[in-house]
């Protein structure tokens, strides 16, 4: 399984292309679950659909090879059938990881996603579902070998405090994924790209200083 995590639909830019061009191929068939930003799960607008599809076109993937599912609009039977088809990439787009994880459980497709042998793509903070725990002890997909992340990382008090908290809890590494950054895993070998970086326990003193300077 390959795994891609990016915060935005800007992974068609040069900082991402050199890493993803061998993973996202023109012959790929793509299935995307789009989770509405307003949580009402209405049919997506044309403009937003174009924004979701646009980056794939840069990798030579034709629009006709991309299918978008709108959760809670497409019925469970249709989704189960769709997942049985031969897709190379299954993607999730949105920022509500909690709602996405509930959806995967409600529709009984969590195990199918976990056992998928192609490429899983997470666009937005929905990427937290790839971890062990999403929120309030709700189990995630457990695909990251206990690796922790800060998606949409910003150099500010709230984000630095969160990273410090994760390291103080005993997590050995945290991946910081800013707007122009991402995480790529190929058979559990991890690499960051763009402006993403990894911090660990050895960085705590520097993080403490940065946090206090931000107050």
Is residue 45 pLDDT above 60, yes or no? Answer: no
From 72-76, 145-149, 156-160, the region with the lowest mean pLDDT: 72-76
Q: Could you count the other beta carbons within 10 Å of the beta carbon of residue 109?
A: 18
Q: What is the pLDDT of residue 37?
A: 60
| Residue percentage of the chain with pLDDT more than 90 | 63
Q: DSSP 3-state helix, strand, coil percentages of the chain (rounded to 5)? A: 35, 25, 40
| Residues 161, 211: Cα–Cα separation, whole Å | 7
Q: Domain boundaries in the chain?
A: 2-145+178-189
Least confident residue range of 7-16, 33-42, 96-105, 130-139: 33-42
What is the domain class of 2-145+178-189 according to CATH? alpha beta
* 13 Cβ contact partners less than 8 Å away, ≥ 6 residues apart: 180
Please give the sequence-ordered ranges of beta strands (E in DSSP) within the chain, or none if there are none: 2-6, 30-34, 66-69, 89-93, 119-123, 133-135, 138-139, 148-151, 173-177, 181-186, 189-194, 197-200
Could you read off the pLDDT of 73-129 as tens digits, one per residue? 778 888 888 999 999 999 999 999 999 999 999 888 999 999 999 999 999 999 999
């Amino acid at each position: 399984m390959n795994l891609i995590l990016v915060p935005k639909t800007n992974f068609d830019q040069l900082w991402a292309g050199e890493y993803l061009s061998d993973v996202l191929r023109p012959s790929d068939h793509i299935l995307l679950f789009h989770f509405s930003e307003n949580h009402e799960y209405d049919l997506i607008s044309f403009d937003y659909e174009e924004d979701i599809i646009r980056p794939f076109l840069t990798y030579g993937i034709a629009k006709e090879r991309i299918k978008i599912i709108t959760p809670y609009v497409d019925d469970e039977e249709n989704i189960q059938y769709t997942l049985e088809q031969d897709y190379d990439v299954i993607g999730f787009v949105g920022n509500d990881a909690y709602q996405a994880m509930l959806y995967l459980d409600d529709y009984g497709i969590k195990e199918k996603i976990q056992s998928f042998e192609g490429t899983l793509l997470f666009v937005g903070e929905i990427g937290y579902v790839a971890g062990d725990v999403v929120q309030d002890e709700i189990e995630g997909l457990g695909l990251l070998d206990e690796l922790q992340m800060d998606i949409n990382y910003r150099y500010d008090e709230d984000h630095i405090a969160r990273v410090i908290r994760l390291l103080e809890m005993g997590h050995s590494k945290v991946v910081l994924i800013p707007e122009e950054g991402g995480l790529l895993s190929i058979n559990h070998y991890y690499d960051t790209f763009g402006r993403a970086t990894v911090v660990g326990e050895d960085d705590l003193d520097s993080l403490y200083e940065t946090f206090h300077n931000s107050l």
